[in-house]
Structure 1
Amino acid sequence: MPSMLPGAPWLLAHKSMLTANQPRKISLHGSDYVMWKDAAEAIHALPNACPHMGAMLSEGWCEAEGDRTSSVVCPFHALKFDPEGCTVLPGSKQKTLPLLKPLNLIIQGNLIWSYGEYEPQVPIPNVLHKIAETYYFIGHTADRSIETDLLTMLLNMHDYNHQNGTHRDLFRITDVEFHQFIDEGHQSHAFYDMPTAPYSLAEKLIKPDLFLLPSTIKAHLENHFPSLVIFHGEMPFGKAAQCHIFVPEAENRTRTYILLFGQAKHPLFKMLGNTYLNFGKVVVDQDADILGKIYPNTPQKIKLNNEVGMDWVRRNFETFPNVREPNFSR
């Protein structure tokens, strides 16, 4: 069973995660790339190893070429590589043929997708495009690499029973009341409620952000296998779509981050954007912490109720890119 699902689309970044003319390392399917955004907001990506002596291009810098486009510069010998992977050698006035093969990127608005070096097997989900049309973008958070394989990461994300364990701290979740799981092949929906233990008034006055935590967290997770989970949340002052992104960097390393979108019902909602981003970061940090405390090869001798989301992940992993019929709702 392939561990990184070749042929799936991966959301490498939102344009806001890149600073103009500042290179950044991006990893996918065991390969490293340097990605940068030029002054015209065009996105470029090349293999990260300089073809001269292997220096990391992401540790270099960018130089503008004219008013709009730019090249990435190797930090070792200052060789400049344009977006096509060509350079001009010292003492020469002519560009070389491409020495680096650009990573194929698919840009949809502010979203940067890629299939890596593989032929597409499943389409890019259009749900984020729809969200961007009706929600405003709040920001990104919790961008980190975790030393775990993609399957383990996704099983954790779809383990609805772990909320009152892993996420008890801060959120004080006391129970998980599971309602429904709708299986639509590579798409699914999960609905459940999570009652929380209340904070005292004194605790809230010390940390006012706690006033924003509801007595019961009502969860609707919209899942797009394998790279995207959207938590749809209703807050007192608006609605949020908290989008959890997953990227297989290597066999045993998976990157995750959050893109947060909102619909304000009250002006106060927009002022609270950073608070909601911080809540999302806490969730990812808690998940990363528990994933570092698991013996991965332990036989599972106990099966809890409502592991249907985990079953959905395993089934799609086993049959990817095909979908095993029949689909069902329960």
Structure 2
Amino acid sequence: MSMLEGAPWLLAHKSMLEVNKPRKISLYGKDYVLWKDNLGEVKALPNACPHMGAMLSEGWCQQGKDGASEIVCPFHALGFDGKGCTILPGTKKKTLPQLEPLELIVQGDLIWSYGNCKPQASIPNILNEISSQYEFVGHIADISIESNLLSMLLNMHDYNHQNGTHRPLFKIEEVQFKSFQDHGHHSHALYNLPTAPTTLAEKLRHPKLLLLPKIIEVHLENHFPSMVIFHGENLLGRIAQVNFFLPESTNRTRTYVLLYGLPKSFAFPLLKHNLLDFARVITEQDGDILGKIYSNTVPKMKLNNEVGMDWVRRNFENWPEIVESNLSKRMF
């Protein structure tokens, strides 16, 4: 199972969909069209029109005769409802379903899917908890990367890459690893990142540097395989930066960020765009380095504190089973 079929994937937050504007998404090597109507209801169908294969995501939305929202093919203007039915020209009756809908699980503003596979794991409740406690700040860095899912996950759980990949912006000097707590498909990693001093001139040129403490205290909460949550705090307040991963195909992975905040300063609304920009830069740097790695290289050495990568490999190789290990008992 190279794409971990049966895992729950967060396709989007509703704020990422414009009303009645179709959007193409991919999952498990299949393309779908996703759209949201005026009432906030979300539907998804295979993206290829069953007539001649036109991309439905290049079409538009309209209200059908029964009042439901339809996606309209850009080639011959056939309108398909959420069940995949259409009315052929010259007739007044709907056809049987011509397209198999993508099954969605909508929890508030969160749009989940198992990709029409048999569920092998439950949807984590952590996002509902965060949504109930934090203010939703926004979404950022929705990109597709030429990388298989495993490589993407290994990169995100490689705690030693912080002072390499992310050094240009954050000037991270070292990684001070503290602990890793293993709970099967759920884990926590805690470490500190001391940063190099910045001059006043540098801060004036890059105001976002004002938000960085001398030591970045990192708490990553991991939900295999689709989510990494950075819990942090700065002068503006507490934040929960949630990174998502979805296997678009065997060699292409989509990632994006949802940001939540708990303000403790009047300046939070004024500077929250800087927090989003941090998330964008981090995501783009991770995507950039993945394109500069020879993926077929066999590692000949092992660094300290690669426990997060070990955790990913163990869960990936044994999916969907949860395998007991002694990762949480290791000394670091």
In structure 2, the partner of 1:48 is 47
Q: How does 1:24-173 map to 2 (within 5 A)?
A: 24-65=23-64, 69-173=68-172
Q: Distance in 2 between matches of 1:299 and 1:43?
A: 44
Q: Which moved more, 1:293-302 or 1:201-210?
A: 201-210
Contact kept? 1:85, 1:98, Cα under 8 Å: yes
Contact kept? 2:154, 2:312, Cα under 8 Å: yes
Q: Distance in 1 between matches of 2:66 and 2:58?
A: 23
Contact kept? 2:186, 2:223, Cα under 8 Å: yes
1:320 is matched by which residue type in structure 2?
Answer: W
1:296 is matched by which residue type in structure 2?
Answer: S
1:253 is matched by which residue type in structure 2?
Answer: R
Q: Distance in 2 between matches of 1:147 and 1:326?
A: 31
User: Aligned with 1:304: secondary structure?
Assistant: coil
User: Aligned with 1:267: secondary structure?
Assistant: coil
Q: Distance in 1 between matches of 2:98 and 2:88?
A: 12
Q: Distance in 1 between matches of 2:65 and 2:279?
A: 40
Deviation at 1:185, TM superposition (A): 0.2
User: Aligned with 2:86: secondary structure?
Assistant: coil
Deviation at 1:245, TM superposition (A): 0.4
Deviation at 1:64, TM superposition (A): 2.1
In structure 2, the partner of 1:323 is 322
Aligned length: 329
Q: Distance in 2 between matches of 1:250 and 1:328?
A: 30
Q: Distance in 2 between matches of 1:219 and 1:210?
A: 17
User: Aligned with 2:94: secondary structure?
Assistant: coil
TM-score by length of 2: 0.97
Contact kept? 1:184, 1:328, Cα under 8 Å: no
Contact kept? 2:307, 2:327, Cα under 8 Å: no
Q: How does 1:180-259 map to 2 (within 5 A)?
A: 180-259=179-258
Q: Distance in 1 between matches of 2:69 and 2:239?
A: 36
Deviation at 1:268, TM superposition (A): 1.1
String of CA shifts for 1:92-144, please: whole Å, max 9, x gaps.
11111110011000001100000012100110000000000000100000000
Q: Which runs of 5+ in 1 are unaligned?
A: none
Matched, 1:8 2:12: no
User: Aligned with 1:309: secondary structure?
Assistant: helix
String of CA shifts for 1:217-263, please: whole Å, max 9, x gaps.
11000000000000001111200000000000000000000000000
Deviation at 1:67, TM superposition (A): 9.7
C-alpha RMSD over aligned residues: 1.1
Q: Distance in 1 between matches of 2:200 and 2:41?
A: 50
String of CA shifts for 1:31-84, please: whole Å, max 9, x gaps.
000000000000000000000000000001101237963100001111111111
1:186 is matched by which residue type in structure 2?
Answer: H
Check 1:199–1:67 CA distance in 2 against 1; reply closer, same or farther (3 A cut).
farther
String of CA shifts for 1:247-293, please: whole Å, max 9, x gaps.
00000000000000000111212222111000000000000000000
Q: Which moved more, 1:4-13 or 1:68-77?
A: 68-77
Deviation at 1:301, TM superposition (A): 0.2
In structure 2, the partner of 1:264 is 263
Q: Distance in 2 between matches of 1:68 and 1:282?
A: 43
User: Aligned with 2:75: secondary structure?
Assistant: coil
Q: Distance in 1 between matches of 2:8 and 2:67?
A: 28
User: Aligned with 2:302: secondary structure?
Assistant: coil
TM-score by length of 1: 0.98
Q: Distance in 1 between matches of 2:206 and 2:307?
A: 37
2:214 is matched by which residue type in structure 1?
Answer: S
Deviation at 1:326, TM superposition (A): 3.6
User: Aligned with 1:152: secondary structure?
Assistant: helix
1:63 is matched by which residue type in structure 2?
Answer: Q
Q: Distance in 2 between matches of 1:66 and 1:111?
A: 28
Q: Distance in 2 between matches of 1:297 and 1:326?
A: 27
Contact kept? 1:182, 1:190, Cα under 8 Å: yes
Q: Distance in 1 between matches of 2:280 and 2:200?
A: 24
Q: Distance in 2 between matches of 1:135 and 1:159?
A: 28
State percent identity of aligned pairs: 64
Q: Which runs of 5+ in 2 are unaligned?
A: none
Q: Distance in 1 between matches of 2:66 and 2:125?
A: 33
Q: Distance in 1 between matches of 2:254 and 2:262?
A: 27
Contact kept? 2:311, 2:327, Cα under 8 Å: no
User: Aligned with 2:267: secondary structure?
Assistant: helix
Check 1:109–1:97 CA distance in 2 against 1; reply closer, same or farther (3 A cut).
same
